[in-house]
């Protein structure tokens, strides 16, 4: 009986000297050095997903697995892999179209042809530029609503003038009233 107990004690290896078969080494090497999914690692190493998962769970800490998962998830959303890639205007799920700016004017998403870097522009600027073939309202100029109705963006109701002319116009109208 003592010999059986002695044999069992000799066969137990400390954790730091555990022998890992070459297939497990391959799995862990791929896990540590590539961005392959566990399914892809299984295909490359010629094993099943379950075997790969069990080996990774056994030899890598939860923190290591979570860290890799986080990186792979972020990489899966880059560029053309992003499900929102190229979705603008009506194709985007949160597209709003025309919105009020809170002062009676409406804004729209900046058209691709409009030469301005902001996300949204006034609707009356876009309508005026479309009608007159401009790529933007020039600096120092404003688009005035002739009938003072901020929601009437018909090109016949819009006129472009300098900011100082616009101020003078409204001052004269206020003094008259």
Domain ranges of the chain: 19-77, 89-176
**Taking the model in full, what pTM does it have?**
0.52
Query: Which 3 state secondary structure label does DSSP give 168?
Result: helix
Q: What residue spans of 49-162 are helical by DSSP H?
A: 49-59, 62-75, 123-132
**Rounded CA separation 174/11 (Å):** 100
pLDDT in the model for residue 10? 43
CATH number assigned to the domain covering 89-176 = 3.90.75.20
How far is C-alpha 18 from the chain's CA centre? 44
User: Does residue 49 register a pLDDT over 90?
Assistant: yes
Residue range 106-157, pLDDT digits in tens: 999 888 888 888 889 999 999 999 999 999 999 999 999 999 999 999 999 9
């Amino acid at each position: 009986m003592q010999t059986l107990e002695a044999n069992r004690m000799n066969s137990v290896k400390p954790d730091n000297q555990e022998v890992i078969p070459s297939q497990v080494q391959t799995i862990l090497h791929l896990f540590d050095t590539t961005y392959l999914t566990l399914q892809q690692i299984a295909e490359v190493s010629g094993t099943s997903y379950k075997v790969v998962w069990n080996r990774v769970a056994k030899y890598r800490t939860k923190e290591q697995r979570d860290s890799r998962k986080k990186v792979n998830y972020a990489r899966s959303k880059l560029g053309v892999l992003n499900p929102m890639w190229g979705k603008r205007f009506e194709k985007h799920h949160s597209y709003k179209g025309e919105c009020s700016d809170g002062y009676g004017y409406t804004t729209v998403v900046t058209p691709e042809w409009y030469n301005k870097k902001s996300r949204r522009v006034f609707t009356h600027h876009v309508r005026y530029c479309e009608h007159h073939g401009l790529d933007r309202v020039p600096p120092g100029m404003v688009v005035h609503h002739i009938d003072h109705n901020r929601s009437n963006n018909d090109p016949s109701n819009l006129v472009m003038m300098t900011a100082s002319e616009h101020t003078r116009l409204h001052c004269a109208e206020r003094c008259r009233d």
